[in-house]
Amino acid sequence: MGERVQIPRKGEETAETSREFNPQEFGGEGSALSQEIARTQLPVEGETFGIVEQRLGYSKMYVRCLDNLVRIGRIPGKYARRLWVRENDLVLLKPWPVQGDKKCDLIYRYSRAQWDWLVKRGKVPADFR
């Protein structure tokens, strides 16, 4: 009829079950926290992490970036109503093609649980707070 498929026991790791995200670390499969961590957006080429240092008003703020530059970050119009940012939040940003060392666009804000997950995985340095 068909092949027998061996189901791994709980705790065993196979090529299919080994992955970077383990939902059991964050409250189980269906918890809201594990779903939030699973959707964590990682930087692609040209994007970096930053921490909001000071709000300037009009969707602009000073952002201290992972490359040790302080840029003026702005929230683009398509994110303006979705992206609520406060001081000391970890954000994903994209430097501008022109004046990239001075200005950037904010793309995503990480929650505290996502930030801890990124630190644990080595994506963000632990002293970058």
CATH code: domain of residue 69: 2.40.50.140
Please indicate, yes or no, if residue 16 is contained in any of the structural domains: no
pLDDT in tens, 46-59: 999 999 999 998 88
Task: Summarize the confidence of residues 82-105 as an average pLDDT.
Answer: 91
- Residue 12: the pLDDT is 58
Please indicate, yes or no, if residue 6 is contained in any of the structural domains: no
**Reported confidence tier of residue 10, pLDDT bands at 50, 70, 90:** low
Number of compact structural domains in the chain: 1
Please indicate, yes or no, if residue 92 is contained in any of the structural domains: yes
Residue 62, CA distances (Å) to 15, 49, 106 in order: 44, 13, 11
Please indicate, yes or no, if residue 116 is contained in any of the structural domains: yes
Rounded to two decimals, the pTM is 0.69
- Residue 81: the pLDDT is 80
Kindly report the backbone phi and psi dihedral angles of residue 117, in degrees, each rounded to the nearest multiple of 5, phi listed first. Answer: -65, -40
Tell me the residue range of the domain where 59 lies: 48-120
Please indicate, yes or no, if residue 20 is contained in any of the structural domains: no
